[in-house]
Amino acid sequence: MVKVSVIGATGYAGAELLSILIRHPQAKIAHITSESHTGKKISELYPHLRGICDLTLESLSDIENIGKDSDFIFIALPHGHAMDVGIKLEKFPVRIIDLGADYRFSDVSVYEKWYNVPHKHKDAKRVYGLAEIYRNEIRDAKIIGNAGCFTTASILALAPLVKHHLIDANSIIVDAASGVSGAGRGLKLGNHFPELYDNFKAYNVAHHRHTPEIEQALKDLGGEETIINFTPHLVPMSRGILATCYANIKENISDDMIDAAFQKMYGAEKFIRLLGRNSYPETKFVRGSNFCDLGWHIDERTRRVIILSAIDNLVKGAAGQAVQNFNIAAGFYENIALDVVPMYP
């Protein structure tokens, strides 16, 4: 059994992570933490875990002892906090999977520019945690920066076309809509029921922090600097992301070449379901699962390709992705604890 601990277990992503780790036959949950609810049982805050996980929440002040007693630590804290944990555990053999943004960027100056936080752990050896793209790097990584939710949906949609140079990488536009759980469990006016219900809105236009994360991965895949337009939207549902990605098709690229690129890159992937050309992924079809459903359309009139990507933001966009990375890093089968049927309806 591999001993795992969850730092910041009381957010939506942390609770989702616990729900997955509980059913993992090779993982034993050693410690869970919360600074605001120290001493309480996790099932007091999340009654759906009652009788399933009744562990007591500990304080992060004991992080070194937690690190000594863990093989892997999952960090589900807001940005700016994981690097403090990483520094304190630097000399321990424990491996870290950070669900936040602190270890996602190879160039920390990009992180500092977009997150307005000084990076304290600049020399940390880390890899980007998007399993289908960086699987080989993840296997031996000390620190894994779990990919963000919008970025997962967007990168997976665009990766085959960028990798095979079928589109103009600087013509990319991404419109993505997320359920409100992506904003976290904290109380905010914009997430208040009367503000959210029966409403649909864009936010952080041209300034969302997932933009450089998408650009970094696309640059890695295509070998060229990439600048995109990314616009996030909030929809009145609890979970799910639908990303609609647009790009100009290069000259002399046939429709069959686009189809083949998706098949070549993802045909053998467990958690990517290719719906094919002229298909329409929906968030309800992936709800509660680690699947990413992809469909694409080719607009002959404008010579653009339009890719639709649907994920559950708390699973494939956060906790499920973290466990998928954990399985790879620990040498387990990748689908352990994640091989579940989506919840429907």
User: What is the DSSP secondary-structure string of 120-156?
Assistant: S-TT--EEEE-HHHHHHHHTT-SEEEEPPHHHHHHHH
In a domain, 57, yes or no: yes
CATH number at residue 173: 3.30.360.10
Q: Are 101 and 194 contained in the same domain? A: no
Q: Are 119 and 164 contained in the same domain? A: no
Reported as a pLDDT band with limits 50, 70 and 90, residue 253 is very high
Q: Are 51 and 25 in contact (CB under 8 A)?
A: no
Q: Are 303 and 155 contained in the same domain? A: yes
CATH number at residue 82: 3.40.50.720
> How, if at all, do strands 304-311 and 292-299 pair?
antiparallel
Residue 321: how many CB atoms within 10 A of its CB? Answer: 29
- From the DSSP assignment, how many helices (H) and strands (E) are in the chain? 11, 13
Q: Are 72 and 4 in contact (CB under 8 A)?
A: yes
Q: Are 40 and 118 contained in the same domain? A: yes
In a domain, 135, yes or no: no
Whether the per-residue pLDDT at 187 is higher than 80: the answer is no
Q: Is the peptide bond before 345 cis (omega within 30 degrees of 0)?
A: yes
Reported as a pLDDT band with limits 50, 70 and 90, residue 190 is confident
Three-class SS state of 67 = helix
Spatial CA neighbour of 77 closest among 96, 54, 101: 101
The whole-number pLDDT of residue 133 equals 98
* Residue 198, beta-bridge partner list: none
In a domain, 129, yes or no: no
Average pLDDT over residues 264-281: 98
Q: Are 251 and 164 contained in the same domain? A: yes
**What is the identity of the amino acid at 33?**
T
Reported as a pLDDT band with limits 50, 70 and 90, residue 196 is confident
Enumerate the active-site residues.
149
Q: Are 166 and 250 in contact (CB under 8 A)?
A: yes
The C-alpha atoms of residue 215 and residue 229 are separated, in whole angstroms, by 10
In a domain, 224, yes or no: yes
pLDDT averaged over every residue in the chain: 96
In a domain, 272, yes or no: yes
The whole-number pLDDT of residue 186 equals 77
In a domain, 45, yes or no: yes
The whole-number pLDDT of residue 259 equals 98
Residue 267: Cβ-neighbour burial (10 angstroms; 0-12, 13-18, 19+): exposed
In a domain, 326, yes or no: no
Q: Are 50 and 157 contained in the same domain? A: no
pLDDT in tens, 13-43: 999 999 999 999 999 999 999 999 999 999 9
| Domain around 282 | 150-313
Q: Are 209 and 115 contained in the same domain? A: no
Q: Are 305 and 157 contained in the same domain? A: yes
Q: Are 256 and 221 contained in the same domain? A: yes
Q: Are 207 and 289 contained in the same domain? A: yes
Q: Are 165 and 295 contained in the same domain? A: yes
User: In total, how many domains does the chain have?
Assistant: 2
**Tokens 């696309």 label which residue?**
218
Q: Are 7 and 70 in contact (CB under 8 A)?
A: no
In a domain, 138, yes or no: no
The C-alpha atoms of residue 229 and residue 237 are separated, in whole angstroms, by 24
Is the model's pTM score more than 0.95?
yes
* Residue 202, beta-bridge partner list: 233
Nearby residues of 278 by Cβ (< 8 Å), 6 or more positions away: 295, 297
Q: Are 156 and 298 contained in the same domain? A: yes
- Averaging pLDDT over each range in 46-55, 177-186, 193-202, which range is the top one? 46-55
The C-alpha atoms of residue 298 and residue 300 are separated, in whole angstroms, by 6
